[in-house]
């Protein structure tokens, strides 16, 4: 029996991961923002034999997240918590608005922290468990077309890498997930070519395999990961010149 908790499970990678882990004997605790879509994911997972508890929650609500995670852990101890909930905002050729920037930081940073800290607290008591933080290859270098999104994902990448060392002393594994372009609600509005674009189900299988192997960083696809690493290593002046020529995203949230 395995108990997996996933935020942002109503669509995209979160929904695909729920389907990957759905099997007879599995327990899934799922949350998302869209009731109808979350219910549909839960039904599909139950059809695969999993026991599912789905709850609509705002990951930005610290108290609600703490209470939900503690309640789910008290039912059956959590084995894996995936902090996946996140949003993006396109620029449409201009900078992200002040409101978009604040919303991105609140969801992608505070929402992740509100998931990871209570998960680590319950796992620390029994000195076991695994936490996965969904970042992005966009977090390797700030992109002029999406500076707040890049910054939020970069912050969670570094935080997760640091936590991997500190929580290892408590018997907790931490993995940072850095996908490239995946077909989700975040990318569907992009009107520019997205190299190595993959469907969410394939991305979920790559993630689940990496988590099963205990990898600290799961970055994919490999060619995009190499380009992201190179972009972060380039001299700033050249990187700025290059990234200013990349297309901007359409507005989305």
d(CA 121, CA 85): 20
Do 197 and 181 form a contact (C-beta atoms < 8 A)?
yes
pLDDT at 169: 96
- Fold assignment, 3-243: Rossmann fold (3.40.50)
Is residue 21 among the annotated active site residues?
no
Measure CA 65 to chain center. 16
pLDDT at 250: 44
Domain ranges of the chain: 3-243
Please classify residue 36 by burial: count the beta carbons closer than 10 Å to its beta carbon, then call 0-12 exposed, 13-18 middle and 19+ buried: exposed
pLDDT at 97: 87
Catalytic residue among 68, 149, 159, 220: 149
pLDDT at 215: 97
Mind spelling out the 3-state secondary structure of the chain?
Answer: CCEEEECCCCCHHHHHHHHHHCCCCCEEEEEECCHHHHHHHHHHHHHCCCEEEEEECCCCCHHHHHHHHHHHHHHCCCCEEEECCCCCCCCCCCCCCHHHHHHHHHHHHHHHHHHHHHHHHHHHHHCCEEEEEECCHHHHCCCCCCHHHHHHHHHHHHHHHHHHHHHHCCCEEEEEEEECCECCCCCCCCCCCCCCCECHHHHHHHHHHHHHCCCCEEEECHHHHHHHHHHHHCCHHHHHHHHCCCCCCCCCC
d(CA 188, CA 170): 40
d(CA 203, CA 170): 29
pLDDT at 141: 82
pLDDT < 70 positions in the chain = 90-95, 184-196, 230-253
């Amino acid at each position: 029996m395995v108990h997996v908790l996933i935020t942002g499970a109503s669509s995209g990678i979160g929904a695909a991961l729920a389907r990957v882990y759905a099997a007879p004997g599995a327990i899934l605790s799922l949350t998302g923002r869209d009731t109808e879509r979350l219910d549909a994911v839960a039904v599909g997972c139950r059809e695969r034999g999993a026991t599912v508890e789905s709850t609509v929650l705002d990951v930005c609500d610290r108290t609600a997240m703490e209470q939900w995670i503690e309640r789910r852990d008290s039912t059956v101890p959590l084995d894996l918590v995936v902090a996946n909930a996140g949003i993006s905002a396109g620029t449409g050729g201009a900078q992200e608005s002040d409101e978009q920037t604040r919303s991105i930081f609140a969801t992608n940073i505070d929402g992740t922290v509100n998931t990871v800290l209570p998960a680590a607290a319950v796992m620390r008591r029994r000195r076991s468990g695994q936490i996965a933080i969904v970042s992005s290859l966009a977090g390797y270098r700030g992109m002029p077309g999406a500076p707040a999104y890049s910054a939020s994902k970069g912050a969670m990448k570094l935080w997760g890498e640091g936590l991997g060392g500190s929580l290892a002393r408590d018997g907790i594994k931490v993995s940072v997930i850095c996908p490239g372009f995946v077909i989700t609600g975040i990318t569907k509005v992009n009107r520019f070519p997205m190299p190595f674009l993959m469907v969410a189900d394939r991305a979920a299988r790559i993630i689940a395999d990496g988590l099963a192997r205990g990898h600290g960083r799961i970055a994919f696809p490999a060619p995009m990961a190499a380009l992201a690493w190179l972009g972060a290593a380039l001299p700033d002046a050249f990187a700025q010149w290059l990234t200013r020529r990349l297309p901007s995203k359409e507005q989305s949230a």
